[in-house]
Amino acid sequence: TGKKCRLEEAKAAIGTFSTNIQNRLFHLTLLFGSPFAGSIIGIKGSTIVRIQNETGAKIKLSQLNEFYPGTNYRIVVFSGQIMEIVQALGLSVEKVMEEHCHSFIIGKKNIHLKMIVPSAAVGALIGREGETMKKIVKDTKCKVRISPKSSMIPFLNERIIHITGKPSKCMLTISFLLEKLNKSEEFAVYKSPAAGFFFMNRMAYADGYMPNLVGSTLYPDNANVAAAYANPYGYYAYDPT
């Protein structure tokens, strides 16, 4: 049986957002390991086509060996209205959970999402003295880590937001973060320059892919994301109380 990523809370929250926010275009950039990206695409692109048709969102991925600089993660960009994006992400996460259920932490069932935002947007997401992010964390019960400026890749000027929690709560967190990005037109429709480089002049999923079954990055028990949770390098850390 497939594992469900429940969206009721996220949909209810989005329903309270202003009409302008609900109707506008957003881009959401996430990082996924190759096996998980392969699950989102499906055999000969079958899954990604179905998700796009069901939700109205557009999904683009970097190629099999095209990784976000400094990582072994592929870039996945969801585009559309906020409800479309969250529904498409929810279906994508469901497919990953279905095909990689062995990766779960027994008893916790948490996932780990990595969201790319421009460094200039972090202030709007955190709020004065961290109040905005503290409220999001309190309301969603997710852990959030924001990579420090010192870890930025110079030509990108981007930060990675690490979100850990139950799948439904991560969808709620993503909804709130997108809402906050609406404060600036630049932030709301931001696309990573790395993603723009990969998607230029071609479709990213024209032929489908064979997933590379090395490593997995949706789940938070991997050694390669441990640094964000040990908090030794100046990560902004927000935990539910």
pLDDT value at residue 50:
97
pLDDT of residue 197: 57
pLDDT given for residue 164 in this prediction: 93
Q: What are phi and psi of 182, to 5 degrees?
A: -65, -15
What is the model's pLDDT at position 205? 36
| pLDDT at site 66 | 87
pLDDT at 106: 40
SS3 track for the chain: CCCCCCCHHHHHHHHCCCHHHHHCCEEEEEEECHHHHHHHHCHHHHHHHHHHHHHCCEEEECCCCCCCCCCCCEEEEEEECHHHHHHHHHHHHHHHHHHCHHHCCCCCCCEEEEEEEEHHHHHHHHCHHHHHHHHHHHHHCCEEEECCHHHCCCCCCEEEEEEEECHHHHHHHHHHHHHHHCCCHHHHCCCCHHHHHHHCCCCCCCCCCCCCCCCCCCCCCCHHHHHHHHCCCCCEEECCC
Q: What is the pLDDT of residue 225?
A: 42
Q: What is the mean pLDDT of each run of 10 residues along the chain (241 residues)?
A: 81 96 95 92 94 96 87 93 98 91 61 93 91 95 92 86 94 96 85 66 35 37 42 64 64
pLDDT at 241: 64
